[in-house]
Amino acid sequence: MPETTSTPQTADFLVVANRLPVDRRTGPEGELQWRTSPGGLVTALEPVMKRKGGAWIGWHGAPDETIEGFEHEGYSIVPVPLSSQDVEEFYEGFSNATLWPLYHDVVVPPVYHREWWQTYREVNQRFAQAAAAHAAQGATVWVQDYQLHLVPAMLRELRPDLRIGFFLHIPFPPKELYQQLPWRRELLEGLLGADLIGFQLPGGATNFVNLAKRLVGVQMTRDRIRMPDGRVVLAKAYPISIDANGFRDLAREPDVQAEAAQLREDLGNPKRIFLGVDRLDYTKGLRQRIRAFGELFSSGELDPDENVFLQVATPSRERVEEYRKLRDDIDLLVGRINSEVGRIGSPAIAYRHDSYPRTTMAAMYSIADVMVVTPLRDGMNLVAKEYVACHEGDDAALVLSEFAGAAKEMKQAYQCNPHDLDGMKETIMRAANDSTMNRSRRMRLLRKQVFSHQIDDWANDFLRDLGA
């Protein structure tokens, strides 16, 4: 099993996550460079790390390799190595073929393998040991997401002096689904090692508390769980947000505005641009959304000479079979639709299976007249909030799945059920054709909501309750 080799340097504040917040690149002179990753978790936590300093513990993304830690943007990077077998069984296996589908309403059937579970435990122990080695006396450790369910209890056993928080970025399922899991009690006990367990929505916290009472036998009073050792664990909702001011300022930069103008020209300067931005994941409802737009273009409700649907699908987990199948399905679906309704050189659906820097995403948000965010299930979905922050004009619209966590806050979006194809088509057309007055009123209220509770508020609320 690979071991870390960097000399431990202790920190008073640590984030522990499956991945580090940086990606490795080769510079123009062949030099090694590390740049901030574009993912949602990093986007959410990077401002907190820059403000508080400390250390971020995680895997750097390449298997069978050990690298030294380093400083980045004012905080320490602490790599935890993973072998190829770890990646296959811990990450692609238990994390993303067992827990991910189970926690997302079993959109695809979860797979349960005892070997994956054993590797998941071993890797969680390695993360816990790294945190224990780098945490100062009485430090605060904030563990992130479903890949590291067991770390809180393991870390508490190693370092009972620490304040330990855990935040789950994806939904937490109801007992009818969760109880399928062969290791259901062990995962609950892992989380109960934390002092504070955060969820995106109150329903997730309620599901967890009820399951802990039923399967672990703990005592509870509302959102407080009394442990046999006398500790009190708090479980409650902390809806995550974004650095809305930062996104707005980014969208206003001259280079981003110039890129936005070029993007609109590259799309043929259409009358209306619809935009979707997602990881290529079966929970995001891409098949349903693209099929809906295909039918709208085919029926003439959307004129392909005046409307373009730009769909960005960021590559994700491409070694997992379900994701490879989804990629192939989407490629075929987009190709068929464009061959039927698009013109040569001017497709109705501009499909981009690629990842883009934050500046390009801000430019895309700026030109989108209608943002379409229709996951089948999502813990929150920060894309919806990023769009509202980046898009300056009021005459715009957000179409949002009622099964995204963001729907609970963003009530002025045009909400739909993505499982209902006709209903989704009606909602898209209503958003596109609504009066300027109605769209503007909705956008102003959405902007007020997004800017009134930002990422620092989320982090401060969580860390205050953690006693950090």
Is 199 within 8 Å of 228 (Cβ atoms)? no
User: What percentage of the chain reaches a pLDDT higher than 70?
Assistant: 97
pLDDT greater at residue 52 or residue 291: 291
Verify that 236 and 250 share a domain, yes or no.
Answer: no
pLDDT of amino acid 161: 97
C-alpha distances in Å from residue 335, one per residue of 216, 252, 294, 385:
51, 35, 11, 30
Helix (H, G, I), strand (E, B) or coil at 9: coil
Tell me if 6 is assigned to some domain: no
Output DSSP code: residue 344. T
pLDDT of amino acid 37: 81
Pick the range with the lowest mean pLDDT from 1-10, 11-20, 223-232.
Answer: 1-10
Tell me if 85 is assigned to some domain: yes
Is 132 within 8 Å of 193 (Cβ atoms)? no
User: What percentage of the chain reaches a pLDDT higher than 90?
Assistant: 82
- For the chain, what is the mean pLDDT? 93
Verify that 51 and 188 share a domain, yes or no.
Answer: yes
- Contacts (Cβ under 8 Å, ≥6 apart) of 242: 43, 44, 382, 385, 386, 389, 450, 454, 455
Is the per-residue pLDDT at 5 higher than 60? no
Is the per-residue pLDDT at 6 higher than 60? no
Helix (H, G, I), strand (E, B) or coil at 296: helix
Is the per-residue pLDDT at 15 higher than 60? yes
pLDDT of amino acid 375: 97
DSSP 113-134: -HHHHHHHHHHHHHHHHHHHHH
Is the per-residue pLDDT at 210 higher than 60? yes
Q: Mean pLDDT across the stretch 165-193? A: 97
Distance CA 265, CA 208 (A): 49
Verify that 218 and 251 share a domain, yes or no.
Answer: no
What CATH number did the domain enclosing 261 receive? 3.40.50.2000
Q: Mean pLDDT across the stretch 231-260? A: 96
pLDDT of amino acid 36: 80
Is 148 within 8 Å of 124 (Cβ atoms)? yes
Verify that 248 and 236 share a domain, yes or no.
Answer: no
CA-closest candidate to residue 50, choices 86, 76, 80: 76
Q: Mean pLDDT across the stretch 202-231? A: 92
Tell me if 3 is assigned to some domain: no
pLDDT in tens, 26-69: 777 777 788 888 666 787 788 788 888 899 999 999 999 999 99
Phi-psi domain of 381 (left: phi exceeds 0; alpha: psi -120 through 50; beta: other): left
CA-closest candidate to residue 370, choices 292, 439, 291: 439
Tell me if 4 is assigned to some domain: no
Verify that 162 and 31 share a domain, yes or no.
Answer: yes
Find tokens 């989407």 and name the residue: 330
Verify that 178 and 123 share a domain, yes or no.
Answer: yes
pLDDT in tens, 308-366: 999 999 988 777 777 888 999 999 999 999 999 977 768 999 999 998 989 999 999 99
Q: How many domains does the chain have?
A: 2
pLDDT of amino acid 1: 42
Q: Mean pLDDT across the stretch 388-392? A: 97
pTM of the model: 0.93
pLDDT in tens, 451-465: 999 988 999 999 999
Verify that 158 and 276 share a domain, yes or no.
Answer: no
Rg for the chain, CA atoms, rounded? 22
Give, in degrees to the nearest 5, the angle at Cα 10 between 9 and 11.
Answer: 125
Range of the domain at 51: 11-240+457-466
pLDDT in tens, 97-114: 999 999 999 999 999 999
Joined tokens for residue 55:
């250390």
pLDDT of amino acid 147: 98
Is 20 within 8 Å of 59 (Cβ atoms)? yes
pLDDT of amino acid 342: 72
Verify that 299 and 186 share a domain, yes or no.
Answer: no
Q: If you count them, how many residues does the chain have?
A: 468
CA 325 to chain centre: 21
Verify that 292 and 234 share a domain, yes or no.
Answer: no
